[in-house]
Amino acid sequence: MNATILHESKGRIRLKLRQKRMTLAQADLLEVWLQSKPWTRQVTVHERTCCVILHYDGNRQDVLDEIGHFTWENAEQTTPLPIHSSRALNREFEEKLVGKVIAKAASTLFLPSPLRIARIVWHMIPFVCRGLRCLLHGHIKVELLDALSISISACRRDFGTAGAVMFLLELGELLEEWTRKKSVEDLAKCMSLNVDRVWLRTAQGEVLVPVSQIQPGNAVVVRAGGIIPMDGLVLEGEVTVNQASLTGESIPIPKRPGSTVYAGTVVEEGECVLEVKQASGQSRYDQIVHMIEQSEQMKSAAESKAAHLADQLVPYTFAGSLLSFVLTGNVARALSVLMVDFSCALKLAMPLAVLSAMREAGRSHITVKGGKFLEAVAAADTIVFDKTGTLTHACPKVAKIIPFSGKDEREMLRLAACLEEHFPHSMANAVVEEAKRQGLTHDEFHSKVEYLVAHGIASTVNGERVLIGSAHFVFEDENCMILEDEQERFDALPSEYSHLYLTIGGQLAAVICISDPLREEAKEVLTTLHGLGISNTVMLTGDSHRTAAAIAAQVGVDEFRSEVLPSDKADYIAQLRREGHTVLMVGDGINDSPALSEADAGIAISDGAAIAREIADITIAADSLWELVELRRIAMALMARIHSNYRFVIGFNSALIALGMAGIIPPATSATLHNVSTLGVSLRSMSALPLDRKNTP
Instruction: Tell me the pLDDT tens digit for each residue of 85-127.
Output: 778 888 888 889 899 889 988 988 888 989 999 999 998 999 8
In this prediction, residues 385-397 reach a mean pLDDT of: 79
Pairwise CA distance, residues 197 & 381, whole Å: 39
Pairwise CA distance, residues 150 & 170, whole Å: 13
CB 266 within 8 A of CB 193: no
Per residue in 222-280, pLDDT tens?
987 778 888 889 999 988 887 765 554 556 788 989 988 887 778 877 889 999 887 65
Pairwise CA distance, residues 564 & 345, whole Å: 49
Q: Can you name the CATH fold of 197-280?
A: 2.70.150
Provide the pLDDT for residue 507.
93
Per residue in 572-588, pLDDT tens?
999 999 999 999 999 87
Provide the pLDDT for residue 234.
93
* Nearest one of 265, 215, 208 to 239, comparing CA atoms: 265
Burial class of residue 503 in the structure, from the number of CB atoms within 10 Å of its CB (0-12 exposed, 13-18 middle, 19+ buried):
buried
191 Cβ contact partners less than 8 Å away, ≥ 6 residues apart: 245, 264, 288, 369
For domain 3-81, the question of CATH label 1.10.10 is answered with: no
CB 512 within 8 A of CB 467: no
| pLDDT exceeds 90 at position 54 | yes
Output DSSP code: residue 481. B
Does the pTM exceed 0.75?
Answer: no
Residue 230 one-letter amino acid: M
Radius of gyration of the chain (CA): 30
Per residue in 431-459, pLDDT tens?
888 998 898 876 655 556 776 654 678 88
* Nearest one of 608, 559, 565, 568 to 587, comparing CA atoms: 608
| pLDDT exceeds 80 at position 17 | yes
Per the DSSP assignment, residues forming a β-bridge with 55 are: 12, 42
**Angle, to 10 degrees, between the axis of helix 301-328 and the axis of helix 343-363?**
160
In this structure, what are the phi and psi dihedrals at residue 101, rounded to the nearest 5 degrees? -65, -45
**Percentage of residues of the chain with pLDDT beyond 70:** 84
How crowded is residue 86: how many other Cβ atoms within 10 Å of its Cβ? 14
Q: Can you name the CATH fold of 369-393+518-622?
A: Rossmann fold (3.40.50)
Q: Would the CA dihedral through 157, 160, 165, 169 be positive or negative?
A: positive
In this structure, what are the phi and psi dihedrals at residue 446, rounded to the nearest 5 degrees? -105, 170
The band of 286, judged by pLDDT with boundaries at 50, 70 and 90, is: low
The band of 306, judged by pLDDT with boundaries at 50, 70 and 90, is: low
The band of 559, judged by pLDDT with boundaries at 50, 70 and 90, is: very high
CB 581 within 8 A of CB 382: yes
Provide the pLDDT for residue 233.
92
Pairwise CA distance, residues 427 & 419, whole Å: 12
Per residue in 622-681, pLDDT tens?
678 899 999 999 999 998 998 888 888 888 888 888 887 777 888 777 777 877 887 788
Provide the pLDDT for residue 296.
44
State the number of CA atoms in the 13 A half-sphere of 369 facing the CB.
25
* Nearest one of 187, 181, 1 to 91, comparing CA atoms: 181
How crowded is residue 160: how many other Cβ atoms within 10 Å of its Cβ? 14
356 Cβ contact partners less than 8 Å away, ≥ 6 residues apart: 638, 685, 686, 687, 688, 689
Burial class of residue 374 in the structure, from the number of CB atoms within 10 Å of its CB (0-12 exposed, 13-18 middle, 19+ buried):
buried
Per residue in 309-341, pLDDT tens?
666 777 777 777 778 777 777 777 777 777 676
Angle (CA) 470 496 551, round 5°: 85
Buried b (16+ CB within 10 A) or exposed e, 424-449: bbbbbbbbbebbeeeebebeeebeeb
CB 465 within 8 A of CB 458: yes
Q: Can you name the CATH fold of 397-515?
A: Calcium-transporting ATPase, cytoplasmic domain N (3.40.1110)
Output DSSP code: residue 688. P
Any idea where the domains of the chain sit in the sequence? 3-81, 91-188+298-353+637-686, 197-280, 369-393+518-622, 397-515
The band of 295, judged by pLDDT with boundaries at 50, 70 and 90, is: very low
Provide the pLDDT for residue 244.
60
| 339 three-state secondary structure | coil
